[in-house]
Structure 1
Amino acid sequence: MERRMMKFPLLLLQTQFFLLSFLLIVASLADDDSIPLNDDVLGLIVFKSSLHSGSSELESWNEDDTSPCAWRFIKCNPRNGRVSELSLDGLGLSGKIGRGLEKLQDLKVLSLANNNFTGNISPELALLNGLEKLNLSMNHIDGSIPASLANMSSIQFLDLSYNSLSGPLPENLFRTWKSLRFISLASNFLEGPFPTSLSECTDLNHLNLSNNHFSGDPNFKEMFQSLTRLRTLDLSNNELSGELPFGISALHNLKEISLQGNHFSGSLPADIGFCPHLSRVELNGNFFSGRIPDSVQQLNELRVLSATHNFLNGDFPQWIDKLSSLEYLDLSGNNLQGSIPSSIGEMKSLQYLSLSNNRLSGIIPHSISSCSSLSSIQLKGNAFNGSIPEGLFELGLDEIDLSRNQLTGPIPKGSTKLLDSLEVLDLSGNNLSGVIPSDMGLYVKLRYLNMSLNNFESEIPPELGHCKNLTVLDLRDSALTGSIPRDICDSGSLRILQLDENSLIGPFPSEIDNCSSLFLLSLSHNNITGPIPKSISSLKKLKILKLEFNQLTGEIPQDLGRLENLLSVNVSHNQLIGKLPDGGIFPNLDRSALEGNLGICSPLLRGPCKMSAAKPLVLNPFAYGNHHGGDIPSDGSSDNIMGFRRRRFLSVSAIIAISAAAAIAIGVIIITLINASVRRRLAFINDALESMCSSSNRSGSVVAGKLIFFDSKSSPDWITTSLESMLNKATEVGGGVFGTVYRASLGDEGRVVAVKKLITSNIVECPEDFDREVRTLGKANHQNIISLRGYYWTPQLQFIVSDFAPGGSLQAKLHERHPTSAPLNWASRFKIILGTARGLAYLHHSFRPPIIHYNIKPSNILLDDHMNPKISDYGLARLVTKLDKHVLSNRFQNALGYVAPELACQNLRVSEKCDVFGFGVLILEIVTGRRPVEYGEDNVVILSDHVRVLLDQGNVLDCVDPSLESYHEEEVLPVLKLALVCTSQIPSSRPSMEEVVQILQVIKTASPQREASF
């Protein structure tokens, strides 16, 4: 009652305000009877009054004007002077789409895209009977789509994508939309079946209903075959099922069809090749089976064919060369058999080829080297035999992955084009032989090299140390001989070095300190001799050290105990002796990491403890001159002899001390000269970089020191004037590996954004590079990721501006919840899991190359007011490539428990599967309410292992968060099982994020009950 009484005066004041405004307008018009009352001015002023920010963009909207035709963002019909177009895209406007717009009765175009509008779609928009284009995309509008919109019979273009709309579509929504040409409802939370009235839109050209929860069998035969003018059809990432019927050729104008991420099954339509204009076909992540229809070869305009992760079988099409326009072919993750035809060389336009994880066999045809446009070839996980075609290494490829096949013979030498282009080379798991080509040290862009599990029987070429961008070198179990090259780390960029299970001999190179970026070093199961060099103690980023089963001698350097980041050490089965280092991880090593040595001193070992004590220096007084010479006192007294010996001993000691001091002085001088030379070189390089950046700035492409917004023509320079007042503890809302996050309100607009101040100490980066990378990330636009809106750059200061999530982080909801606040219910938790999965799937599968997060954890999952998850911090490692030398050493430490094994120790290929592992741990954390790693007094609990044990015992539900008062067992159990699959130690055993989304949608659909709040 009190709330109602408080609302009543407010409503009265609002009513009086509108009446007063109306009377003032009427009074002003009464002085001149020739001027009619302008509804357009009144309607726009009322609309403007409902906005909460961005009003500065609408300063030209003056209620005293008799016509709005001179206002910004307004276009009028020249015949009658009425408003015909209102376009306010990307102005940062917020508030609700209020009343007033219904006054614009001649309005043809209404576009409010890419703003911050909230609330529901006003049913009064249906009063705009003449509206032809309505664009409300990329806002925060929620609620259902009102059925009254069906009255907009003139509508031709409708875009409501990237909002939070929910519920089913009204059955009669499309009944009167005879003129509709374009409709996009993508990236919302719409559900239920498609209305049958959709078949009434016979003039429809573009239909995009992707990334929703639509379900059921869409009944293509009855619903879609009447849409004969359809050109693009996107139903991807929904919960649709059923078979695609024959007769799809009725859509003969179709250019693009995207059905990935659903539950479609059965065979592909045999007549799909009779849609002659098809240029893109995407069928990934469904249950399609059977053969690829022969009619596909008739698609002369086809550029993209992707059908990964289905159950397609039969022989690989021998007519594939008929697709002369094909640029992108991905049929990985199926059951295709047979061989690749030699005619594939006729595909001159082919740029991307992936046939991985099928059952293909035979040789890789030499004619493939004729595919002159090819940039990526992925054939892993098949049964190809024979040698690698030499011509393949003559192309300008970015990626070659031929791993896990049966290839033999040598590695071809690379051409000049390949040396300049190749970034990823994976030939592991074959039976290759011969020598590793020394020209691999000339690959200027090579960052990942894996040739493990082969039979080279050659030495490691020292030239590999010259690959300046190489970060991963994996030569495990490749029958390598000889010693470890001393300059293998000359580039300084190597982070993972694995030389396990070879026949390497010789000493452990003391030059290992050149590997300053190394965090995984594994030399186990070789014949390396000599001591562990003390220089290894300078590897501050080292996390994993594996030296077991060698012939190392001496003591473990004590300084190794000072490496704070070292997480795992194994020196077992060597010939080491002496005391273990006091600090770091060494006091916590178990027996298996130390056993099998000669005499390491540890209470865990039963063997003898041998100390390597230094022998005292003994000087023979008779070593210089004759024993009977005149230098010895003639009286032979013991006192005289001892005095002589004392004088001789002091004299030799003085000589040694003087010699040592001279040597040290000479060494200091030499080192000083070297350091000065290095500093001059570094200064020259930095000056050159700054000069290059400055010259590029003068060219005018990017202006340093200005805030750049992607969605606005003008960018306020607020950051230079209010920096001191903004960046303080009061506005700080969080932080992470890459910097501190602040909540900011932009200038007079009041637009609330999140500003991340990047850690950029002593980093020199050209603004063009920074601008290009951040704009690439800025193109990511999905309801479950935080959108990047702009940036600020100077050589000393760099910011990233993004949307602000008012609901805080998942970390706060799970682990920092106040005792008086309610815990997350199961519906909210499932919603967060599914939304996060969709966001990751978008990053992985909507970009080439995919955007990999590497750091999925609750603090990077933000929430809006409706508990919708939004992934933050994606792509920042790619955004500032030089930043990782300052912060990546902390990334895995800060994300302990979320890190995939291949990132932390095993060095399998770094791919999207790293995010899948982190997502699996995130699921377990959401369901159990526990942290991924918990430390007790006597033990350490790894959450994934704990849940796996409970599952094996049949008590897995015992791990569910006790604060969950109720939940659906039929949902929780499969979700936990999915999490354990995602956290598999073997990356290839983990599903893709598209598959994860699909599984979660099945779990949701199969549940007999759903909470209303979901």
Structure 2
Amino acid sequence: MSFFMFLVFLLVPLVAESMTPPGLNDDVLGLIVFKADLLDPHSKLSSWNEDDEDPCSWAGVECDPKSNRVAELSLSSFSLSGKIGRGLLQLRFLSSLSLSNNNFSGTLLTDLVRLESLRNLDLSGNSLSGPIPKEFFSQCRSIRSISLASNTFTGEIPSSVGSCSTLAALNLSSNRLSGSLPAEIWSLNALRSLDLSGNALVGEVPVGMSKMYNLRTISLRWNQLSGPLPEDIGDSLLLESIDFSVNSLTGSLLDSMQNLSLCSFLSLSWNSFSGEVPSWIGGLKSLQTLDLSGNEFSGQLPDSLGNLQYLKELKVSRNSLNGSLPDSVATIKSLVDVDFSRNKLTGNIPSWIFEPGFVSVTLSENKLSGPVQIPTTTAPTLQILDLSGNALSGNIPMEISGINSLQSLNLSSNSFSGAFPVSIGDLKSLQLLDLSGNRLNGSIPLEIGEAVSLRELNLERNSMTGGIPAQIGNCSLLTSLDLSENSFTGQIPSTIADLTNLRIVDLSVNHLTGSLPKPLSNLPHLLSFNISHNHLSGALPSGNFFNTISPSSISDNPGLCGAAVNLSCPSVLPKPIVMDPISSSPISSSSSVLPSASHKKIILSISALVAIAAAIIITVGVITITILNLRVRASAAAAATSRSPAALEFSGSYLSQSPTTDANSGKLVMFSGDGSEYFNAGTHALLNKDCELGRGGFGAVYKTSLRDGRPMAIKKLTISSLVKSLEDFEREVKKLGKISHPNLVSLQGYYWTPSLQLLIYEFVSGGSLHKHLHDSSSPLTWQERFDILVGTARSLAHLHQLDIIHYNMKSSNVLIDGFGEAKVTDYGLARLLPMLDRYVLSSKMQSALGYMAPEFGCGSGRVTEKCDVYGFGVLVLEVITGRRPVEYMDDDVVVLCDVVRGALEEGRVEEVVDGRLCGRFPVEEAIPVVKLGLICTSQVPSNRPDMGEVVNILDLIRCPRDSTEDELV
């Protein structure tokens, strides 16, 4: 840059208000100064030359043909980084500015909206941060469109947003905005599109939508909004799209909504709406998508649904709907996708689901019964049919083979009987066939080999007989084969070794005989091969997989031999013995002559060494805490020998909210009212050993019941010796009690004495994530795992916005509620302790070694939000792989992060995904999620993203494929 240009750059704040030097175009000057603040790794701006008379031929620049001044600047996806500099303020005739999908950082350049000609501003998809300044909106002139989406803006939406009276589109989605939705936003009566999704907005949606008489689309998806819908929502008569999904909204659907006759998209899913689905819903005749899934709707679906003749998607899953499916739905000729799963629907399977036009039909996990009747003329477009988890009976109809377009057929967990449908080979497009958990008999037909697109075949838990047909080797795309718990006989066909895509094979609990085909050792992608509880014999195939196969996978086959079963095969001769003439001892021909060969070398990774060092610190901490607790317990026993905390009962005197802290009475405080209204006083031993749910770093958890029968969880703190005074304890607990988030276990109250402290939590019925991952026979699906990770990430992001660090992030502190949603517990408990004791207790807070951030193990003692990010990263890898963070072998310590990182470097990411998923996971989601987990577990804290960024990344990973169906790899 010339010296003159350098001076101009220094004086740029004054340039906009001073005369431009002769011969230098204002637009050239502004763009060159703007470029000076940027990094351009791919030289996308190489055509920008300060010696040009005008910039109209530059990349990304469009000029007005009459004035020859810059009218549009579009640098979207140019891979630029740096700050957005003030040079842009020189572009006085700029009407459209797009810097989206780059990596610009820093704060928002407030004066941009002061450009008189600017109409459209798009800064989405960058790394801009900080709060949105109040003056940004108050300086609006004639701007029509603003998008700040997918950045990391924080704080509240300024009330000055109401000043942009000309705004037609406002997009602030996928940021970290918090606080309530300002009522002033309804003053934007020119607004046609409003997107505030993917933030952390709280409180009720304010009344005032009636002023938005031009509003066409509104999205408040993925926030923490609560309360009922605004009562005047039906007065925005031009609304075409409403998305309030994934919040905590309550109440019933308002009658005023029947005025929204132009609405084509309505999603209220994943809230807490209740009551019946109103019959007036059939009056919204423009609806194309109706999604009410994941709520608490009850009763029968109204017949008026048949009036929605333009409806394409109807989703009401995960509610409490009962009765039969309305026949009126059959009249909706445009319907493509229906999902009625996880309700209480009864009756028979209606024939209309096989009508032409349907692409996806999901009726799983209801109470549907009887046989399935398929009309002769079947749906030529049906690709997904899921009738699993019902009480259907009779034979699987032969007519199903006429649905040539079928890609996924799930009839599992019903009472189907009879033989396997012989015509299954006609389904050339079929990729998934799950008939498990029925009463099928007979053999697998030879025609199975004609299902050439089959990727997953699951016939477990039936009564099938006969041999495994050799023709199954023609299903070359097969990745998962489960024939377990049947009565199959004969040998395992050698053609299975031709299925080079196989990952999961389960032939256990059958009557198979003979030896295993040796070519099985050549299967390159094999992750699991279970042949236990059969009558197989002979040598196991050679190769790395079968040399290290789990003993449980080959158990109860007395005739098998090989290294994996510690039994030499008779046909294998022993190694020859060679006598050393110098030595009197025989030496095996395979032995080394080097003296060091008799010593086994153990090599541990850096992470393993850190883990071992941290374990020593933990041991010292635990011993210290144990001694302190023993002293306190001895003092407490001397002071109150007549009452044992382990058998404490809340008598009437304990149920007072009196400020007394007398050791004989204690103090009970319920945040939602007088405790006496809730607890079954004097009859239940709250800390009875039989009621214990589990133990964690801060204490044991017990289950009790409220007076109305509702369960509650009680945590007895075992860190009494280090808990603060009553005043400090109350101050911190009350802060925790005010925290409300759908993915956090809510704190309901507390009980205090100097020697005993109890925390009272809502009870979460589904158990811990740890149990679902490691102790459950029913593995979580990919979608369930992804949802749990998103919910957990959102809860941590919310805590960090409140300056609360979890300190103890691990799978046992993530609970699963009745809807499969994650709810994080044990957050913020370290705030109950004096600051000086936090490092001493680091071992207790991070009691699961594998989750401990390296800065703990190195003794720095510095606890930040990045420690939570590290723990979450380990949790991601644990959820994806199904493996524990640290596994102890006979002579090694296996650290999960090291295993996954190695697999990524070698291009084997798909192989580390939990084998129990049986290949049912989308690779385009799995690989980015694994990479995210590894980034979060970076050894350097500053390299880890914050949790708000993690939430945005997870949303971006899933957004391109907004489907509830798992794709197959």
TM-score surpassing 0.5?
yes
| Structure 1 position 90, deviation (Å) | 2.9
2:296 to 297, 311, 325: 311
In the aligned structure 2, how far is the partner of 1:520 from the partner of 1:82?
Answer: 64
CA offsets per residue over residues 166-196 of structure 1, 9 Å max, x none?
2222222x23211110010111111111222
2:240 to 252, 255, 258: 255
Q: Does 1:119 align with 2:106?
A: yes
- Residue 487 of structure 2: aligned partner: 503
1:153 to 132, 141, 160: 141
In the aligned structure 2, how far is the partner of 1:183 from the partner of 1:517?
Answer: 48
Please give the secondary structure, in 2, of the residue aligned with 1:336: strand
- Residue 108 of structure 1: aligned partner: 95
CA offsets per residue over residues 618-649 of structure 1, 9 Å max, x none?
xxxxxxxxxxxxxxxxxxxxxxxxxxxxxxxx
Q: How does 1:142-221 map to 2 (within 5 A)?
A: 142-149=129-136, 150-172=138-160, 174-219=161-206, 221=207
| Structure 1 position 326, deviation (Å) | 0.8
| Structure 1 position 363, deviation (Å) | 0.9
Q: Does 1:404 align with 2:442?
A: no
Q: Does 1:350 align with 2:335?
A: yes
Q: How does 1:871-890 map to 2 (within 5 A)?
A: 890=908
C-alpha change, 1:913 and 1:565, in structure 2 (3 Å) is farther
- Residue 300 of structure 1: aligned partner: 285
CA offsets per residue over residues 100-126 of structure 1, 9 Å max, x none?
222333333222222222211112324
Contact 2:12 2:87 in 1 (8 A): no
In the aligned structure 2, how far is the partner of 1:479 from the partner of 1:175?
Answer: 68
- Residue 418 of structure 2: aligned partner: 434
1:524 to 496, 508, 521: 508
In the aligned structure 1, how far is the partner of 2:4 from the partner of 2:851?
Answer: 40
TM-score (norm 2): 0.60
In the aligned structure 1, how far is the partner of 2:522 from the partner of 2:232?
Answer: 69
CA offsets per residue over residues 787-841 of structure 1, 9 Å max, x none?
xxxxxxxxxxxxxxxxxxxxxxxx999777798796884523446788999x99x
Contact 2:148 2:172 in 1 (8 A): yes
C-alpha change, 1:545 and 1:80, in structure 2 (3 Å) is closer
| Structure 1 position 279, deviation (Å) | 0.8
Q: Does 1:899 align with 2:914?
A: yes
Give the counterpart letter for 1:197 in structure 2: E
Contact 2:528 2:915 in 1 (8 A): no
Contact 1:318 1:340 in 2 (8 A): no
Contact 1:544 1:568 in 2 (8 A): no
TM-score (norm 1): 0.57
In the aligned structure 2, how far is the partner of 1:926 from the partner of 1:64?
Answer: 46
Give the counterpart letter for 1:581 in structure 2: G
Contact 2:290 2:314 in 1 (8 A): yes
Give the counterpart letter for 2:214 in structure 1: R
Please give the secondary structure, in 2, of the residue aligned with 1:362: coil
- Residue 663 of structure 2: aligned partner: none
| Structure 1 position 856, deviation (Å) | 9.7
Please give the secondary structure, in 1, of the residue aligned with 2:104: strand
| Structure 1 position 208, deviation (Å) | 0.4
Instruction: Name the Cα RMSD after superposition.
Output: 4.8
Contact 1:234 1:257 in 2 (8 A): yes
In the aligned structure 1, how far is the partner of 2:155 from the partner of 2:311?
Answer: 39
- Residue 879 of structure 1: aligned partner: none
Contact 1:130 1:152 in 2 (8 A): no
Contact 1:302 1:323 in 2 (8 A): yes
Contact 1:88 1:111 in 2 (8 A): yes
Give the counterpart letter for 2:100 in structure 1: A
Please give the secondary structure, in 1, of the residue aligned with 2:89: helix
| Structure 1 position 418, deviation (Å) | 2.6
In the aligned structure 1, how far is the partner of 2:923 from the partner of 2:43?
Answer: 43
CA offsets per residue over residues 52-85 of structure 1, 9 Å max, x none?
2169544554445555556554445567655443
Give the counterpart letter for 1:828 in structure 2: K
In the aligned structure 2, how far is the partner of 1:502 from the partner of 1:530?
Answer: 17
Please give the secondary structure, in 2, of the residue aligned with 1:277: coil
Please give the secondary structure, in 2, of the residue aligned with 1:332: coil
Please give the secondary structure, in 1, of the residue aligned with 2:280: helix
In the aligned structure 2, how far is the partner of 1:325 from the partner of 1:341?
Answer: 17
| Structure 1 position 422, deviation (Å) | 1.8
Please give the secondary structure, in 2, of the residue aligned with 1:383: coil
| Structure 1 position 528, deviation (Å) | 2.8
Give the counterpart letter for 1:408 in structure 2: S
| Structure 1 position 303, deviation (Å) | 0.9
In the aligned structure 2, how far is the partner of 1:99 from the partner of 1:503?
Answer: 76
Please give the secondary structure, in 2, of the residue aligned with 1:397: coil
Give the counterpart letter for 1:413 in structure 2: M
- Residue 471 of structure 1: aligned partner: 455
CA offsets per residue over residues 882-911 of structure 1, 9 Å max, x none?
x99x999x5465x3xx626333xxx8x658
C-alpha change, 1:534 and 1:160, in structure 2 (3 Å) is closer
C-alpha change, 1:308 and 1:831, in structure 2 (3 Å) is farther
Please give the secondary structure, in 2, of the residue aligned with 1:473: strand
In the aligned structure 1, how far is the partner of 2:19 from the partner of 2:195?
Answer: 50
C-alpha change, 1:836 and 1:53, in structure 2 (3 Å) is farther
Please give the secondary structure, in 1, of the residue aligned with 2:341: coil
Structure 2: 5+ residue stretches without partners: 574-792, 795-848, 886-896, 942-946, 948-960, 965-969
In the aligned structure 2, how far is the partner of 1:387 from the partner of 1:272?
Answer: 39
Q: Does 1:493 align with 2:477?
A: yes
Please give the secondary structure, in 2, of the residue aligned with 1:271: helix
| Structure 1 position 409, deviation (Å) | 2.0
Q: Does 1:828 align with 2:809?
A: no
Give the counterpart letter for 1:339 in structure 2: S
C-alpha change, 1:196 and 1:126, in structure 2 (3 Å) is same
In the aligned structure 2, how far is the partner of 1:522 from the partner of 1:456?
Answer: 18
Give the counterpart letter for 2:101 in structure 1: N
Q: How does 1:738-749 map to 2 (within 5 A)?
A: none
What percentage of residue pairs aligned between the two structures are identical? 31
Please give the secondary structure, in 2, of the residue aligned with 1:350: coil
CA offsets per residue over residues 446-486 of structure 1, 9 Å max, x none?
22111012122221112213322322211112221222212
| Structure 1 position 12, deviation (Å) | 13
Q: How does 1:604-1003 map to 2 (within 5 A)?
A: 825-830=863-868, 890-891=908-909, 895=912, 899=914, 901-903=916-918
Higher mean C-alpha deviation, range 527-536 or range 462-471: 527-536
2:253 to 245, 268, 277: 268
C-alpha change, 1:226 and 1:436, in structure 2 (3 Å) is same
Contact 1:345 1:369 in 2 (8 A): no
- Residue 723 of structure 1: aligned partner: none
C-alpha change, 1:813 and 1:162, in structure 2 (3 Å) is farther
Contact 1:364 1:385 in 2 (8 A): yes
Contact 2:856 2:862 in 1 (8 A): no
CA offsets per residue over residues 962-1012 of structure 1, 9 Å max, x none?
x9xxxxxxx9xxxxxxxxxxxxxxxxxxxx9999xxxxxxxxxxxxxxxxx
Give the counterpart letter for 1:103 in structure 2: Q
- Residue 643 of structure 1: aligned partner: none
CA offsets per residue over residues 409-458 of structure 1, 9 Å max, x none?
22233577633x22211111111123222221232222211101212222
Alignment size in residue pairs? 654
| Structure 1 position 287, deviation (Å) | 1.2
Larger radius of gyration: 1
| Structure 1 position 510, deviation (Å) | 4.2
Please give the secondary structure, in 2, of the residue aligned with 1:525: coil
| Structure 1 position 237, deviation (Å) | 0.7
In the aligned structure 2, how far is the partner of 1:835 from the partner of 1:532?
Answer: 40
C-alpha change, 1:384 and 1:27, in structure 2 (3 Å) is closer
C-alpha change, 1:505 and 1:40, in structure 2 (3 Å) is closer
Please give the secondary structure, in 2, of the residue aligned with 1:166: strand
Please give the secondary structure, in 2, of the residue aligned with 1:100: helix
Give the counterpart letter for 1:157 in structure 2: S
Contact 1:505 1:527 in 2 (8 A): yes
